Amino acid sequence: MRVSDRYVVTSQRVAGHLMVRGFVLKGIGDNRKYPGRNVFFFNKTPQLVAAISEYTQTNGGQTNGDGDQAERQAV
């Protein structure tokens, strides 16, 4: 997977939601910002970006149940 085709999700809840909706998890790595947590890699597609946007709108921006916005970045 090329770096530009990768989408990084830091919320386990969002990653699970995406997988339930049929998006394929491409890998898991260590979260450098928050040791002990993971990051989840997906193929970056317009459908994936739309699904994440829909999820955050539906859930008031909460992704981990603590009111924080999901940290997402295209790498």
* pLDDT per residue as tens, the chain (75 positions): 566 789 999 999 999 999 999 999 999 999 999 999 999 999 999 999 999 999 999 887 766 654 444 445 554
Tally the C-alpha atoms within 13 A of residue 17's C-alpha that lie toward its C-beta: 21
Bridge partner list, 25: 42
**Taking the model in full, what pTM does it have?**
0.75
**C-alpha span between 57 and 67 (Å, rounded):** 13
Topology (CATH) of 3-74: Alpha-Beta Plaits (3.30.70)
Helix (H) / strand (E) containing 30 = strand 25-30
pLDDT at 59: 84
The H-or-E segment that residue 42 falls in is strand 38-43
pLDDT of amino acid 2: 65
